[in-house]
Chain A
Amino acid sequence: MAAAVARGCGGLWRRARQCGAGGPASHGQRAVASSATGGAVSAGKSGLAPWVPVVGLEIHAQISSNSKLFSGSQVQFAAPPNSLVSFFDASLPGTLPVLNRRCVEAAVMTGLALNCSINKKSLFDRKHYFYADLPAGYQITQQRVPIAVNGSLSYSLCTGNKMSQMVTKTVRIKQIQLEQDSGKSLHDDTRSQTLVDLNRAGVGLMEVVMEPDMCCGEEAAAAVRELQLILQTLGSSQAVMAEGQLRVDANVSVHHPGEPYGVRTEVKNINSIRFLAKAVDYEIQRQIEELENGGTILNETRAFDSKLGFMPEPNLPPLIVYDAKSLPANMNHQQVVNIDWIHERLPDLPSVKREKLVEQYGILPEHSFTLLNEEGLTEFYENVVKQTQMKPKKVIGWILNDLLSYLKQHSLTVKESPVSSFLLADLLNLLEKKVISSTAAKQVLAELWKGEGKTPLEIVKEKKLELIQDQKELEQICQAVIDGQENEVMAIKAGNQKVLNKLIGLVQRETQGRSNPVLVKQLLEKKLSE
């Protein structure tokens, strides 16, 4: 477990710090602090006590499986409406649920990755409410005894000026439960009708409940991002928010330090991580303003809540999972879910992958975050490292500063990059062998982006970017510059070393950037000392 665990936001008196893109969609003149890593505080009206925002999350992750949680119909995104609906999904009378083993394994995997205790016996319940996209009039879920409880998730935020410091935080995972997804209803107001598509009805979900240990949109976003990476690494969910495979509801409240928690509201239907941060911060701000104006916070979704409780699902016996100790000798291992067996086969989680990258390549922790954050980037980086003599510590700069910014500018994924790892490695080798200067290398890269199929060497030759290798030629140019800059030479000889840079610049200009500045400096210094 990572060190420095900071629960919630301590340090109420610290000033707000800017943090990434986490600023709220602010409106009004009030100087409300935006999200911060150390302490989220409202400056509030002068004289008023500061506010402590509290954020908890309920995350629904669609399980990546071939068929649904309790029936054999297929799971597929964007299929023709009502084409993936079995009799059970449509709630035809007389049909019964049959539990999908793969879904149980996905939940156990996720529970283990989040440091949870896996309940060897968990139960299924019916949660009743009437809605067009819930054919049976109830959802089968795990309210009483879910499959996994009491875990934790560590995530990191960058702080400080220039975002160079990383802070690790932890949020407690209350539980993970298996439950059915609902269908989709589309409201057609013009024709006063509702269209119902049951393709999604019955798809397996893992609901991950995060305790209110977060204090702002930024933390919530970082936690969700890390969860998303974990799920994708495990393969238990593809967790693509845009496809509805990861849905987040945020519970937000504010209170004064030392006082009990305030009324919480739910922010629902968040479908991107960026929007999550904004929406949470907006809600925090809204609540603060409301309360400072003497208003109260209303929990609107609560009013809508069903008064019906749960009922045990009578058609499903308790879910039993085993570990090596509890597994009966004569039981067919194919028929049971074995926690230990799953544990042994867990892949490296993102946090472990990052540590390994830092250790192996000597890069900074924040570099490892960026690598993992971008799909395919780690692989790209490692491929370049393999194919070049340049030190990995230097390569990372090219990956994160040059390649990644190009990709972002053109909204491309790593997969879509016109510059392959092979080409980039090739280019970096030229740089490493001092065939070109780093300025020239950037020019070559810009050319490579056009994707015209030329090799770096071809571009170098074409644009005549090679560094001048002939020492004599370089010496002549240096001499010419010295001869032409009497005043500067005198200033240097008088002790003003800074002026040397001007001379170097002049040589660079003469050579059209094809001189190695280090070598030029050496030559000039040598000549000037003669």
Chain B
Amino acid sequence: MLRASLREVSAALKEGRVSPTELCRRCLSLIKSTKFLNAYITVLEEAALKQAEESEKRYSRGQPLGVLDGIPIAVKDNFNTAGIETTCASNMLKGYVSPYNATVVQKLMDQGAVLLGKTNLDEFAMGALGSDTGGSTRNPAAHCGLVGLKPTYGLISRHGLIPLVNSMDVPGILTRCVDDAAVVLGSLAGHDPKDSTTIQDSFKPFELPNLTDISKLSIGIPKEYHAPGLSSEILAVWSKAADLFKSAGAKVIEVSLPHTRYSIVCYHVLCAAEVASNMARFDGLEYGHRSDMNKSTESMYAATRREGFNDVVRGRILSGNYFLLKQNYENYFIKAQKVRRLIANDFVKVFRSGVDILLTPTTLSDAVPYMEFIKEDNRTRSAQDDILTQAANMAGLPAINVPTALSERGLPVGLQFIGRSFQEKQLLTVARWFEKQVKFPMIQLEVVKRHDHDVVQHQKSASFS
């Protein structure tokens, strides 16, 4: 049951084959047994069980709220959840209890979803899950064998999402399969008056059709995504995927997004600037951590922020302030905005030329082992991690990671599809077709519970080994 798709679970709940409370308990038990992974900052055992009980009552009356009723969900700890601690994994917000729900959280609750807890992230999301600013939904999805969807900027409300880069952040959806992502998207998307950057047009949730006629499809392969450092494994997987589309009858062509190589630098300038601005509110006065230093307001600010933020955050604030200085603004910030426009235009041109979807790798390699991971500093690491995902954020385009194969080490590897603005239906339709061809194996969670981190032998999938 814990490996089933959202739809399957939903059907099981409806048919009474499993109850919401049983499901909830199983999830909570799995969370406990995988505690060493430190995936959760806050686990909401009592509250979740209560929600599950309510859901059960609704099912017994034959009145579930929808397909998400009783479904266990987890939310990254940079989304506000009313009455629950929201920390952004930072000392600055330790003990901060949100007084309101983020719009996306509210929507899930209104549908009867059961909130298991708040998941961990890099401090202030400077490199992690559940929201996507530079790839933080798609990257982990690729490394963990999940579907990670980054919707078009403006499709889903950011109200209540503690921002990293306001002009690039979107709530991201992580699920086991593409269908599930479509379901969740259906319950989250749409205009929110509390978020002025959401589109006005009304959104209609959709069912994904079976794609039968591939011949009408044009897949673009951007040559710049053959980036330095791309593992040969992933290159092979990417090629195979392109061939798959070709043999199914699709038009597969090489395209160029010439400004791709500037995107990381551009991203870093804009990100730092917005971060510096967004972090300015953490002064210890209204909420959050406040230092004991009270000689003067200024000294209190300084001490609070030094104690509350880690090095990465402070580093970005300092760089951001530098870029925003009057004498630097033109050369850094404005310049980066212009480059951003060029990057976005690359995509516009390609899509205008008849390409429907772009196919690229999501990451440069499979997940790096922990010992290697901790060697590099955050800036280098994120520079490498985001290189393939972050242009979509610059351009505001929808993108999705579809788990594709296992590496030689037996770790998941995914591929990314990038679509046109607000054309999630088309994007997910193609992604789903691909998912069906690939038949990526299900994750064996019981094996993960073992404390030793030996590489586990999985069943290799037929087409992509």
A93: interface (CB < 8 Å): yes
Q: Is the CB of B321 within 8 A of A308?
A: yes
Q: Is the CB of B280 within 8 A of A138?
A: yes
A309: interface (CB < 8 Å): yes
Q: Which of B247-276 contact A (CB under 8 A)?
A: 273-274
The closest CB in chain B to the CB of A85 belongs to: B286
Q: Is the CB of A132 within 8 A of B321?
A: no
Q: Is the CB of A95 within 8 A of B159?
A: yes
Chain A residue numbers with a CB within 8 Å of B102 are 94
- CB-CB under 8 A for A137 and B99, given A94-B162, A308-B325, A317-B196: no
B100: interface (CB < 8 Å): yes
Chain B residue numbers with a CB within 8 Å of A98 are 193-194, 196
Taking the nearest CB of chain A, how far is it from the CB of B156, in angstroms? 13
* B93, B280, B333: the one within 8 Å of A130 (CB): B280
B140: interface (CB < 8 Å): no
- Measured CA separation A97–B196 after assembly (Å): 7
Chain A window 92-113, contacts with chain B (Cβ cutoff 8 Å), 1 for yes, 0 for no: 1111111100000000000000
Q: Is the CB of A96 within 8 A of B162?
A: no
A39: interface (CB < 8 Å): no
Chain A residue numbers with a CB within 8 Å of B339 are none
- Measured CA separation A308–B197 after assembly (Å): 25
B464: interface (CB < 8 Å): no
- Measured CA separation A310–B324 after assembly (Å): 7
Chain A residue numbers with a CB within 8 Å of B99 are 87, 92
A135: interface (CB < 8 Å): yes
B80: interface (CB < 8 Å): yes
Taking the nearest CB of chain B, how far is it from the CB of A125, in angstroms? 11
Chain A residue numbers with a CB within 8 Å of B281 are 91, 93, 135-137
B166: interface (CB < 8 Å): yes
* A126, A132, A317: the one within 8 Å of B277 (CB): A126
Chain A window 169-200, contacts with chain B (Cβ cutoff 8 Å), 1 for yes, 0 for no: 00000000000000000000000001010100
- Measured CA separation A317–B273 after assembly (Å): 18
Chain B residue numbers with a CB within 8 Å of A132 are 285, 297
Q: Is the CB of B160 within 8 A of A94?
A: yes
The closest CB in chain A to the CB of B80 belongs to: A94
Q: Which of A288-314 contact B (CB under 8 A)?
A: 307-311, 314
Q: Chain A interface mostly helix, strand, loop or mixed?
A: loop
A90: interface (CB < 8 Å): yes
B283: interface (CB < 8 Å): yes
* A95, A130, A310: the one within 8 Å of B301 (CB): A130
Q: Is the CB of B100 within 8 A of A96?
A: no
Chain B residue numbers with a CB within 8 Å of A97 are 196
B329: interface (CB < 8 Å): yes
A315: interface (CB < 8 Å): yes
Chain B residue numbers with a CB within 8 Å of A316 are 196-197
Chain B residue numbers with a CB within 8 Å of A353 are none
A128: interface (CB < 8 Å): yes
Q: Is the CB of B161 within 8 A of A94?
A: yes
Taking the nearest CB of chain A, how far is it from the CB of B283, in angstroms? 6
Q: Is the CB of A130 within 8 A of B197?
A: no
Q: Is the CB of A96 within 8 A of B194?
A: yes
Q: Is the CB of A92 within 8 A of B287?
A: yes
The closest CB in chain B to the CB of A132 belongs to: B297
B326: interface (CB < 8 Å): yes
- CB-CB under 8 A for A90 and B286, given A137-B281, A308-B326, A317-B196: yes
- CB-CB under 8 A for A311 and B273, given A130-B283, A196-B285: yes
Q: Is the CB of A87 within 8 A of B286?
A: no
* A91, A126, A130, A315: the one within 8 Å of B286 (CB): A91
* B163, B165, B277: the one within 8 Å of A128 (CB): B277
B243: interface (CB < 8 Å): no
Q: Is the CB of B277 within 8 A of A135?
A: no
B88: interface (CB < 8 Å): yes
Q: Is the CB of A311 within 8 A of B277?
A: yes
- Measured CA separation A482–B197 after assembly (Å): 95
- Measured CA separation A91–B281 after assembly (Å): 7
- Measured CA separation A91–B329 after assembly (Å): 25
Q: Is the CB of A309 within 8 A of B324?
A: yes
Q: Which of A472-513 contact B (CB under 8 A)?
A: none
- CB-CB under 8 A for A314 and B167, given A96-B194, A130-B280: yes
Taking the nearest CB of chain A, how far is it from the CB of B300, in angstroms? 10
- Measured CA separation A87–B279 after assembly (Å): 16
- Measured CA separation A333–B298 after assembly (Å): 48
Q: Is the CB of B160 within 8 A of A307?
A: no
Q: Is the CB of B324 within 8 A of A308?
A: yes
Q: Is the CB of A87 within 8 A of B326?
A: no
Q: Is the CB of A314 within 8 A of B166?
A: yes
Q: Is the CB of A96 within 8 A of B325?
A: no
Taking the nearest CB of chain A, how far is it from the CB of B450, in angstroms? 38
The closest CB in chain A to the CB of B158 belongs to: A96
The closest CB in chain A to the CB of B287 belongs to: A92
* A93, A135, A311: the one within 8 Å of B162 (CB): A93
Given A128-B324, A130-B280, 5 further pairs, Cβ under 8 A: A90-B286, A96-B195, A137-B281, A315-B197, A317-B197
Interface residues of A (CB under 8 A from B): 87, 90-99, 126, 128, 130, 132, 135-138, 194, 196, 198, 307-311, 314-317
Can you sample 14 A-B contacts with CB below 8 Å?
A: A92-B98, A93-B88, A94-B80, A96-B159, A98-B196, A135-B286, A137-B279, A308-B321, A310-B329, A311-B274, A314-B166, A314-B274, A315-B166, A316-B196
Which 9 residue pairs are nearest across A and B when measured between Cβ atoms? A137-B280, A314-B166, A314-B167, A91-B281, A309-B326, A93-B162, A309-B329, A94-B160, A136-B281
